[in-house]
């Protein structure tokens, strides 16, 4: 999808959703399966995880042009600050069986990590630097352009 098409159907923070993942209970430990396109709302092309984050530190602080993400707190806890250029929300993640879906063109920052937290991210695209918007003012300019505003509810 090109940049203009993305702006015309621009996601908002209302499109960011918490998913309760399946939990299979065993005496010797629980299991949570995650299947791309079934449990996660897209096919998974990349997985990465963030760890050894000092308590109170922040990560992320960027948006993607076309990549979708599914964020899971595997251990500990942290917040995800979401911003669509018009509205903001903060979601707390602290359970390994809950994930947060973040569509493209949402500024997301993982903040307030507790010590020892592990954050796993499942992505719809392989890493491509050109898919990132790392400057917040550039992000605001992209989402608040006349093309993007034309389709505001």
Positions annotated as catalytic residues are 62
With a CB cutoff of 8 Å and minimum separation 6, the contacts of 145 are 7
Strand 46-50 and strand 118-123: the pairing is antiparallel
Rounded CA gap, 90 and 83, in Å?
9
Q: In this structure, are residues 18 and 80 in contact, taking their beta carbons and an 8 Å threshold?
A: no
């Amino acid at each position: 999808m090109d940049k203009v098409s993305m702006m015309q159907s621009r996601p908002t923070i209302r499109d960011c959703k918490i998913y309760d993942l399946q939990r299979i209970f065993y005496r010797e430990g629980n299991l949570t399966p995650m299947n791309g396109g079934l449990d996660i709302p897209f096919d998974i092309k990349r997985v990465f995880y963030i760890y050894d984050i000092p308590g109170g530190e922040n990560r992320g602080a960027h948006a993607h042009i076309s990549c979708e993400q599914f964020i899971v707190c595997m251990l500990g806890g942290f917040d995800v600050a979401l911003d669509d250029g018009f509205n903001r929300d903060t979601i707390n993640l602290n359970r390994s069986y809950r994930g947060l879906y973040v569509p493209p063109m949402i500024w997301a920052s993982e903040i307030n990590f507790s010590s020892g937290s592990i954050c796993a991210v499942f992505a719809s695209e392989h890493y491509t630097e050109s898919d990132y918007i790392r400057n917040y003012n550039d992000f605001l300019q992209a989402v608040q352009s006349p093309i993007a505003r034309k389709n505001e509810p």
